[in-house]
Structure 1
Amino acid sequence: MTTITIRNNPDRSRFEVLDADAVIGQAAYVDDVGSDQRIFYHTVISEEYGGRGLAGVLAAQALDETVAAGLLIVPVCPYIKKYVGKHPGYAANVLAPTPVHLEFLSASLAHRVRQ
């Protein structure tokens, strides 16, 4: 039997799903430094782990920890956007993405690539 865990890896700006020590999924984010917003932009689970509900467990933990940290959720990722739409308990903590968010996200990701 495998041991599945979820953790926030702030050094890599993502929540990770692990099977033992192997990363098998992630919900990537960018924190808008100086604001109270976390932009989720990509969620994925390895294909061989699909169909087990891990993406939903990952989303729930990532969003719960984000809210507990006092941050607003900005769902650019289609999966996270769909998830918060199906779970109205997050509504007060969700901020719809704007062009400013998308520009910030694009600049942040471009900066990471250059490093």
Structure 2
Amino acid sequence: MKQLYLHIMKYFLPVLFISYMAGITLFTHSHVVNGVTIVHSHPFKKGSEHSHTTVEFQLLHFLNHILVTDSGLLPAFIVAVFSFLCILLARPQGMRYCRTCPGVISLRAPPVA
């Protein structure tokens, strides 16, 4: 089931991204409402006139003006750095090899008589 999910996502996510980029790039147009020019993009038929309601303009405004400040990213960054430092400090500093016979160097198998 997981393999099927990964196989579907492998194709679905690039198609979703490409269609989103095409939608915001190829269908850009503007409307003048009460002397204010509103520029947005969505698929529409080129030769036809269309209009939007006030609620639709408000929705377009909220979707196009998302503000992310560093106040939300800074705690996540601090946690990530702290976790990385904990992993580095808790990790053994050197590789230790275990010998079966202390003091005896055995690089090959014993001879067969």
**TM-score, structure 1 length as denominator?**
0.22
Q: Relative contact order (C-alpha < 8 Å, sep 6+): which is higher?
A: 1
Larger Rg computed on CA atoms:
2
Name whichever structure is richer in strand by fraction: 1
